[in-house]
Structure 1
């Protein structure tokens, strides 16, 4: 039994990949029965949990989580647990969880790796120390430091951007453009582009920075997202996605993949993770960040012929899996909707 505990939207794609492998390759348990997949979440997420063989609701109180894990492992004879979040809690309780007899996959091998990946400024320093091509980043903690940093960096980099030092989903990211019209953020907020003085004025009027930020050169792209399966820093499979609006091009080899593998080794990644790169003016890719968890787009790769979730689980459980081959290299991203019962709508 494989158990996928609460993750981001990628949890659904991982379940789909595993169930596809169970059907295609006849994965069985010790009793000769097809392997099963458990999915659990703290929220009402049927688009995730209904894809699995067994759906569970996790406790919302972290204090109850460890006992919930013990009971579920015993009841369903779970052999491996994969979690997308919250990774730090799982690393802090790894010993107790693995004492139940399961393998735990968090994307990391310890809290130090997770802390380094989460702290974008510290991560940039680690990349520099290892000679891994990256985007220079300066951490700022107040408005005065931000103004000074912008003035200093503009001498070398005419285009700059800013984002929170910690965070996900790209929240808080802005491209700072001295030439942008003041009304741009109202007319096209999704462009994430704003006049520098407008940004600074908004901060001043709202009391300054609310959290540490990092300022870095803006790179023109293209942007790539590389999904990796790793075991203690050793990459077992990689699949890159070059982004172009709703279209994404999939690839197995190249400079972006090589950079991602170096990052996995640096962080001793362990599981299904993601590395982001973007090309500079010279066309060469540079590492932006690493998420020690599956990316939201990991399911897109299932259309390529390379099933990364299956590769991860086959390795952990000693299952037979034929060599995966890239068959399709272009996908289009689409959206869908599901109904939510009134009883659950306030939790969504």
Structure 2
């Protein structure tokens, strides 16, 4: 089977390694494309090719169709333009190409915007933190007043963001120079943020939220169109360098099951939770393998293999997960290019 992974996050090499572990040499051919020649994922792929850097939307879709035809792809596992591609399964199926989409177009578009996602989510499925979505300085000030009356600390995050980019805790006691000198991370002085809004009175949607100060869980999952096949919980330690624990929190497992069913999730995806004063709350659903995917598979569950078996329609035995296992990652130096300069 020839499997193509188009441009996506660098963590996809963890998926490659786990597919390699579960298949005999020659059973699968892993094909990777990226827009730059030094992509580390190329080191784990059987074949690698460069993508054009200037294509988006329909133009990129046409390029993907042509790539599948030219390189005789059997299974397309999209990263870039995953939502758009999910609406075009019929086009690829007509060529004999299966597509591994985490959800349909409407759901993937919803998950991309946390303001829309949080509003859509029934509390019977999972609960999110208290939040207010704002687009201007006046709405921001009202949200801070309202939420401050209910919660000791507040935080902000753009409604559209990945990897926690833009997340900040609102600091009402210190200014930025004090934060710099003290080495404070992921915080922003409230008054200085307000001052910045004078120059940008209207802005893209920002979420003002209660700050969840407890433990965080990252749950790596494999599913089949709403059926949860396997979920591995990684409980993160609050101090850097103290690793993570393969956990078995029943409340989180139940929420993962309901979320998978409600949004008919498929393939490999990641769901994140964090604990606050009122209990565990859902942070987000990532329609892709997480950065810690490789650590999750140390539990004894090869999630990439499970997802691939599911799309083949093969039997899927329940893996034996090693709960309580303490895990971490180490950086490994690699040579990207051996050339004389």
Tell me if TM exceeds 0.5: yes
Give the 3-state SS of the residue equivalent to 2:252 in structure 1. Answer: helix
CA distance in 2, matches of 1:260, 1:187: 41
Contact 1:124 1:136 in 2 (8 A): no
Structure 1: gaps of 5 or more residues: 27-32, 344-348
Q: Which one is further off, 124-133 or 14-23?
A: 124-133
Q: Does 1:268 align with 2:225?
A: no
Give the match for residue 21 of structure 2: 20
1:150 to 138, 144, 147: 144
In 2, Cα distance between the equivalents of 1:188 and 1:298? 33
Pairing 1:199-278 to 2, within 5 Å after superposition: 199-204=193-198, 206-244=199-237, 245-246=240-241, 247-278=243-274
Q: 1:200 to 1:333 in 2, by over 3 A?
A: farther
Alignment of 1:100-111 (within 5 A): 100-108=95-103, 110-111=104-105
Paired position in structure 2 for 1:56:
49
1:99 to 94, 116, 126: 94
- Report how far residue 58 of structure 1 moved: 2.2
> Contact between 1:117 and 1:267, CA under 8 Å: does it hold in 2?
no
Map residues 81-100 of structure 1 onto 2, 5 A cutoff: 81-100=76-95
1:133 and 2:120 matched: no
Aligned to 1:303: 298
Q: Which residue, 160, 166, 171 being the options, matches 1:172?
A: 166
**1:125 to partner: Cα distance:** 1.8
Query: Structure 1's 135 and 97: CA in aligned 2 closer, same or farther, altered over 3 A?
Result: same
The root-mean-square deviation of aligned C-alpha atoms, in Å, is: 2.6
Q: Structure 1 residue runs of 4+, over 6 Å off?
A: none
Give the Cα–Cα distance (whole angstroms) in 2 for the partners of residues 160 and 336 of structure 1. Answer: 37
Q: Which one of 284, 293, 297 corresponds to residue 288 of structure 2?
A: 293
Superposed CA deviations along residues 25-59 of structure 1, whole A, max 9, x for unmatched, are x7xxxxxx522222222222441022012222223
Cα gap change, 1:253 to 1:102, in 2 (>3 Å): farther
Contact preservation (8 Å) 1:184, 1:193: no
Report the 3-state secondary structure (helix = DSSP H, G, I; strand = E; otherwise coil) of the residue aligned with 1:211: strand
Unpaired stretches in structure 2, ≥5 consecutive residues: none
Stretch moving more, 272-281 or 250-259: 250-259
Q: What count of residue pairs does the alignment treat as equivalent?
A: 332
SS in 2 for 1:81: strand
How far does residue 115 in structure 1 lie from its aligned partner after superposition? 1.8
Contact (CA 8 Å) 1:8, 1:85: kept in 2 or not?
Answer: no
220 and 272 in structure 1: CA distance in 2 versus 1, 3 angstrom threshold: same
How far, CA to CA, are the matches of 2:184 and 2:319 in structure 1? 37
- Counterpart CA distance in 2 for 1:241 and 1:198 is 36
Distance (whole Å) between structure 2 residues aligned to residue 124 and residue 189 of structure 1: 32
1:77 Cα deviation (Å)? 3.9
CA distance change for structure 1 residues 342 and 77 in 2, over 3 Å: closer, same or farther?
A: closer
Q: Specify the alignment match of 1:346 in structure 2.
A: none
Contact kept? 1:160, 1:215, Cα under 8 Å: yes
Q: Deviations over 1:84-119 (max 9, x none)?
A: 2221231243322222112111211x2210121112
TM-score (norm 2): 0.88
Q: Partners in 2 of 1:209 and 1:339 — Cα distance? A: 46
1:80 aligns with 2:75: yes
Q: Tell me by how many angstroms 1:209 deviates.
A: 4.9
1:314 pairs with 2:312: no
1:36 equivalent among 26, 29, 39: 29
Q: Deviations over 1:216-272 (max 9, x none)?
A: 100112011111112222211111111123311123552222212222222221221
**Structure 1 counterpart SS, 2:121:** helix
